[in-house]
Amino acid sequence: MASRRDLAAELLAKAADDEAVVRALIDDESVTESIVGFHAQQAVEKSLKAVLASRGCEFAPYGVRFRYGSAVAGDVARAEAARWADAALTWRAARSVKANPPRPPLRRGR
């Protein structure tokens, strides 16, 4: 089983990936608001879980059953969703236990 620090780092890397998607798609009008919002929400959720994991708190690891039900349109603008994702990652970094791993760079061709 992964250590608390390893799990927190893994969650943070996944949050950074979601934030990178938000940044890449924020101005792409061919992508729906719900997709941009979903990835922003994922960045926030994974950042929060990284903090919980670093402190040894238990949390539900997946909510797939709730995520893939009926689609509901949101009222959150893309720029606001992007600010939330960035704020969550910044908040998590400020509360790091000891290690504060750098955010992974944007990668192409994955």
* Nearest of 62, 56, 66, 54 to residue 92 by alpha carbon: 54
Residue-level pLDDT at 108: 45
Residue-level pLDDT at 3: 86
The domain total for the chain is: 1
Residue 69 lies in a domain: yes
Residue-level pLDDT at 64: 44
Q: Return d(Cα 102, Cα 79) in angstroms, integer.
A: 23
Residue-level pLDDT at 86: 87
Query: What b/e sequence results for 46-67 when a residue is b if at least 16 CB atoms lie within 10 Å of its CB, and e otherwise?
Result: bbbbbbbbbeeeeeeeeeeeee
Residue 107 lies in a domain: no
Range of the domain at 14: 4-94
Residue 108 lies in a domain: no
Residue-level pLDDT at 75: 58
Q: Return d(Cα 65, Cα 12) in angstroms, integer.
A: 23
Q: Dig out the tokens for 27 from the structure.
A: 């101005």
- List the chain residues with pLDDT less than 70: 1, 61-76, 96-110
